[in-house]
Chain A
Amino acid sequence: GAVVSQHPSRVICKSGTSVKIECRSLDFQATTMFWYRQFPKKSLMLMATSNEGSKATYEQGVEKDKFLINHASLTLSTLTVTSAHPEDSSFYICSARDFIGPSDNEQFFGPGTRLTVL
């Protein structure tokens, strides 16, 4: 399957700082990427859908000014958690759709970023 990378894999920061997470599709072009968060032993929660060259579509209850998403190219989307607080500590996972390849309707997940806000 297609490969999606995320960086960093783990980050610890102080309350009030901003954290940027990168999501890259390594061997395919992804016009659409998705950002999820997952709390321990809970299910995936879709935060937003990121479309290359346009504004992200946020799910209800997700603050767009808090979670800034930029999808600047067909292989890169970034999520910035602004003014992070301890309640933002979570596992953040991105995924990407390969619209062109043989698996054109499948989502491939990055390895995730574990954020801990002190």
Chain B
Amino acid sequence: QKEVEQNSGPLSVPEGAIASLNCTYSDRGSQSFFWYRQYSGKSPELIMSIYSNGDKEDGRFTAQLNKASQYVSLLIRDSQPSDSATYLCAVNVNTGNQFYFGTGTSLTVIP
């Protein structure tokens, strides 16, 4: 079983819609959770970090964490074509140097 799992997609949504990206993780000791965006040919860019259960909002992005279900998600409201990218979920276990990345979900926002 992989440490972090994501649906590889591709996920397509129309412009203006809400895009929902999901991630599950296997280690209950995980304490920190991150969402990165990666455009084709570029390196990952940190979008959100979340450490406690519940929702965390930043502009059009909302991260949701449910530790009991070992589930973290990213919602993108009012999706724009510029949001088209691969979104990587990352998990840090016990604040050490063990970071695990999912394989990423490819999102396409259709104008």
Q: Do A and B come from one complex?
A: yes
- In the docked arrangement, what's the CA distance between A46 and B102, Å? 12
- On whether the beta carbons of A105 and B49 are closer than 8 Å, the reply is yes
Write the nearest CB–CB distance from A7 to chain B, whole angstroms.
Answer: 13
Q: Give the total number of A-B pairs whose CB atoms are below 8 A apart.
A: 44
- On whether the beta carbons of A44 and B97 are closer than 8 Å, the reply is no
Q: How many residues of B contact A (CB 8 A)?
A: 21
- On whether the beta carbons of A43 and B49 are closer than 8 Å, the reply is no
- On whether the beta carbons of A108 and B49 are closer than 8 Å, the reply is no
Contact A93-B49, Cβ < 8 Å, known A32-B97, A107-B34? no
- On whether the beta carbons of B42 and A106 are closer than 8 Å, the reply is no
Contact A106-B43, Cβ < 8 Å, known A43-B103, A44-B101, A49-B97? no
B88 proximity list for chain A (CB < 8 A): 43-44
A106 proximity list for chain B (CB < 8 A): 34, 46, 49
- On whether the beta carbons of B32 and A1 are closer than 8 Å, the reply is no
- On whether the beta carbons of B101 and A105 are closer than 8 Å, the reply is no
A103 proximity list for chain B (CB < 8 A): 49
Select A109's contact among B41, B44, B95, beta carbons within 8 Å. B44
- In the docked arrangement, what's the CA distance between A106 and B43, Å? 15
Contact A93-B34, Cβ < 8 Å, known A106-B49, A107-B90? no
- On whether the beta carbons of A109 and B49 are closer than 8 Å, the reply is no
- On whether the beta carbons of A43 and B101 are closer than 8 Å, the reply is yes
Select A93's contact among B43, B46, B51, B90, beta carbons within 8 Å. B43
B34 proximity list for chain A (CB < 8 A): 106-107
Against A, the Cβ 8 Å flags (1 = close, 0 = not) of B81-110 are 000000010101001010101111000000
Contact A112-B95, Cβ < 8 Å, known A43-B104, A105-B32, A107-B34? no
- Interfacial residues, chain B to chain A (CB-CB below 8 A): 32, 34, 36, 41-46, 49, 51, 88, 90, 92, 95, 97, 99, 101-104
Known pairs A32-B97, A106-B34 / 20 extra A-B pairs, C-beta < 8 Å: A34-B99, A43-B88, A43-B101, A43-B104, A44-B44, A44-B101, A46-B101, A91-B41, A93-B44, A97-B97, A105-B49, A106-B46, A107-B46, A107-B90, A107-B99, A109-B43, A109-B44, A110-B43, A111-B42, A112-B43
